[in-house]
Amino acid sequence: EAGVVQSPRYKIIEKKQPVAFWCNPISGHNTLYWYLQNLGQGPELLIRYENEEAVDDSQLPKDRFSAERLKGVDSTLKIQPAELGDSAVYLCASSQRDWANEQFFGPGTRLTVL
């Protein structure tokens, strides 16, 4: 069974440029998560989807971040415009719908903003 797929694995951009990250969850997983992981820190939840609905986006900085999960499968996280402080690893995870089910993580996208 394929795991969570993320692309690109690495991205280097200049500040004020837009950037997008893509995630394909494990087949059959209804719940999808985007996390932000700063260097030396644990991941922090940005947004959680149940199918195509964003059910928890309280930690998403909506002035520059947006996300979508069309058709309840793949998801895209976008930053526009990027700032120096956005340099981090962006992790995608998925799980089955039941509460407290294991979350499976992708390898992440490492973003560097110059």
Partner 1 sequence: GNSVTQMEGPVTLSEEAFLTINCTYTATGYPSLFWYVQYPGEGLQLLLKATKADDKGSNKGFEATYRKETTSFHLEKGSVQVSDSAVYFCALTGGGNKLTFGTGTQLKVEL
Q: Which residues bind partner 1 (CB under 8 A)?
A: 3-4, 31, 40-45, 48, 55-56, 91, 93, 95, 99-108
Closest CB to partner 1 among 44 and 68? 44
Closest CB to partner 1 among 14 and 44? 44
- Residue 79: both structure tokens together: 């930053």
Strand ranges in 3-103 using DSSP code E only, listed in sequence order: 5-7, 10-13, 19-24, 31-37, 44-50, 53-56, 65-68, 75-79, 88-95
Residue 70: CB minimum distance to partner 1, A = 22
Place of tokens 């820190």: 41
Closest CB to partner 1 among 80 and 101? 101
Residue 1: CB minimum distance to partner 1, A = 14
Residue 33: CB minimum distance to partner 1, A = 8
Residue 106: CB minimum distance to partner 1, A = 5
DSSP H/E element including 87:
none
Asked if 93 and 104 count as a contact pair (C-beta separation under 8 A), the reply is yes
